Amino acid sequence: MSSVAIQLRDVFANVLKIAASDIVDGTSPQDVATWDSLATVVLIGEIETHFSIQFDFDEMLEFENFGSIANLVEKKFVAA
């Protein structure tokens, strides 16, 4: 797991109040009881702040699970 993915996993764990070790690429809102629409908004804000990046609306529509978000964050963070 890359350093970006490790940092992102910690952000997820803090926002969703779950153990970082429980977060894998396929982890999605269907798998985590605390991952609702409000948690998604908080996650987006925390990710943007932590990595100093911004998502546009179309990118947010691609958020399916931890892995898809991690891939997008990696691309944006490297490009920043």
Taking residues 6-19, report their average pLDDT. 98
Per-position DSSP letters for 10-32, written without gaps between them: HHHHHHHTS-GGG--TT--TTT-
What domain count does the chain have?
A: 1
Please tell me the pTM assigned to this model.
0.93
Give me the chain's average pLDDT, please: 95
Q: pLDDT tens for residues 50-79?
A: 999 999 999 999 899 999 999 999 999 887
Q: What pLDDT shows up at residue 80?
A: 64
The answer to whether 36 and 29 have CB atoms below 8 angstroms apart is: yes
**What's the CATH number where 60 sits?**
1.10.1200.10
Q: How far is the C-alpha of 52 from the C-alpha of 33, rounded, in Å?
A: 28
Range of the domain at 34: 3-79
Contacts of 66 by beta carbon, 8 Å cutoff, 6+ apart:
8, 9, 12, 23, 24, 25, 26, 27, 28
